[in-house]
Amino acid sequence: MDNENELPQKEFGDEYERWVVNQSKTQEEKEISESEVNSEKEKEKKKKKKGKKKDKKKEKKENEKMGTRKKTFTTFRTRTLPRDLEMQKQPEISDESVEEIDSEVDTDDIENNSSVKNEREPKRFPIHWFISLVSLALLITSLVKNHGFETPAYNTAFGSSIQTLLDLGAKDGEEIKDNNQWYRLVATIFLESGIITFILDASMLWWFHRQLHTINWISFILIFLITGISSAVSSLFFVPNIIFVGGSGAVFGFFGVLFVQLKQFPVGNKSSFFWWFVFVVVYAFTELLPGIDSFANLGGFITGFFCGIIFIPEITRGTRVVGVIAVLAFIGAGSAIYALYINANGWCSACKSLGCYLNKNWCEF
């Protein structure tokens, strides 16, 4: 037969019947195969729909999770490192970086803010404790050499006598000018007039070490020495005949450095500005204690401002050069002018009274 779909003539008989049977079988097979194909297509569609729903749910959960993690991470950075340099820029956090952070730090730890704070904040050498220990050792030495405390009427800071501090290296304009004992400009910043001034200075150094996150321990000790020496030079210039001891000038220097940092990175530092102002006011009342010189503190603050320009990050090179020149000029010019032109008894009679509010003994020595 030329065409299988054409009906054969009836005269073929048995062959015609076989053809009819074969046609019915092939028709049934076609219907079965078509139904199976349709069922498989429907199953695949259902699987695809389920897969899409799962993917959407998974994507939605991941987006929500990533959103909370980004928010938590940003909040953590703002809370634990409000003065950090990276926090001020607020860079966009990619999904890959968030996944890396999440792999290292659990979000529960971030919320607790206990172990994460230690991981996030760089560990720095506690140089402030070294400075305080040196001052404490010298304070104990002065008390032993003095055979105990002086009376509160003589030394309101509960410490030793003036002569004992002079023997240990307190600032004295006459000894510096006549005997060239310039080492006193360094030794005097580690001495303390008494227990009260030591506690105040040690506490403030601890606070500054926590606040100044943008500088390392080497910069910290350099700032302490530079501002301390500058405060002694300022005292030497204005009131050379007044005995000056203590790290209060360096403390005011750190006030100047912190002021620069807060102005350079103001985001998230409102509370720091508030406490900076409170401590400045409180520390101003320490001028009433003996051995603390107003001109020394003023000189320390001014030099601290320029030290902030030198050591705080993201300040232009030209501005840093100006800061270096200002610091060198302050120390060098002040020392040179005193050594060459100023009498050891002083040139400003009114300046002398500013450091003698309560205790005249320290001004009449």
Q: Which of 62, 92, 120 is the last residue of a domain?
A: 120
Cα(358)–Cα(360) distance, rounded to whole angstroms?
Answer: 7
Residue 207's nearest CA partner among 300, 270, 276, 133 is: 276
- Dump pLDDT digits (tens) for 270-294: 677 777 788 777 777 766 655 567 8
Establish if 70 belongs to a structural domain. yes
Whether 151 and 300 map to the same domain: the answer is yes
The band of 86, judged by pLDDT with boundaries at 50, 70 and 90, is: very low
Confidence band for 355, pLDDT divided at 50, 70 and 90: low
| 235 within some domain | yes
Are residues 85 and 144 part of one domain? no
Shared domain for 104 and 240, answered yes or no, is: no
pLDDT band at 40 (very low <50, low <70, confident <90, very high): confident
Last residue of a domain, one of 89, 105, 120: 120
Is the same domain home to 51 and 91?
Answer: yes
Mean pLDDT (whole number) for 5-31: 62
In a domain, 50, yes or no: yes
Q: 95-100: long-range contacts (C-beta < 8 A, 24 or more apart)?
A: 95/66, 98/66, 98/69, 98/70, 98/73
Q: What is the per-residue pLDDT for 74?
A: 40
Both tokens of residue 237?
């210039």
Judgement on whether residues 212 and 195 belong to the same structural domain of the protein = yes
Domain annotation covers residue 8 = no
Which pLDDT does position 189 carry in this prediction? Answer: 93
The SS3 assignment for 204 reads helix
Q: Which among 120, 144, 160 is the end of a domain?
A: 120
Cα gap 6→27, rounded to integer Å: 15
User: Do 184 and 250 lie in a common domain?
Assistant: yes
**Cα distance between residue 211 and residue 73, in whole Å:** 21
Q: Are residues 112 and 136 in the same domain?
A: no
In a shared domain, residues 185 and 238:
yes
Residue 286 within a domain: yes
User: Reduced to 3 states, what is the DSSP secondary structure of residue 94?
Assistant: coil
Q: Domain range holding 87?
A: 36-120
Total domains in the fold of the chain: 2
Q: Are residues 82 and 231 in the same domain?
A: no
CATH code for the domain in which residue 131 is found = 1.20.1540.10
pTM of the model: 0.64
* Cβ neighbours for 164, distance < 8 A, ≥ 6 positions apart: 142, 145, 146
Q: Contact, 245 vs 297, CB < 8 A?
A: no
**Can you give the pLDDT at residue 97?**
55
Written as six digits, the tokens of 112 are 């607790």
- Rounded Cα distance, 19 and 74, in Å: 80
Same domain, 214 and 245: yes
Do 52 and 86 belong to one domain? yes
The pLDDT of residue 302 is: 93
* pLDDT at position 73 over 60: no
Query: Is a pLDDT exceeding 50 seen at residue 251?
Result: yes
Is 18 domain-assigned?
no
Contact (CB, 8 A) for 137 and 123: no
Q: How many residues does the chain have?
A: 365
Picking from 124, 108, 314, the residue whose alpha carbon sits closest to that of residue 208 is: 124
pLDDT given for residue 314 in this prediction: 82
CB-based contact 248:202 (threshold 8 Å): no
pLDDT tens sequence across 190-227: 999 899 989 989 999 998 998 888 889 999 999 999 99
* 98, part of any domain: yes
219 and 315, same domain (yes or no): yes
Establish if 20 belongs to a structural domain. Answer: no
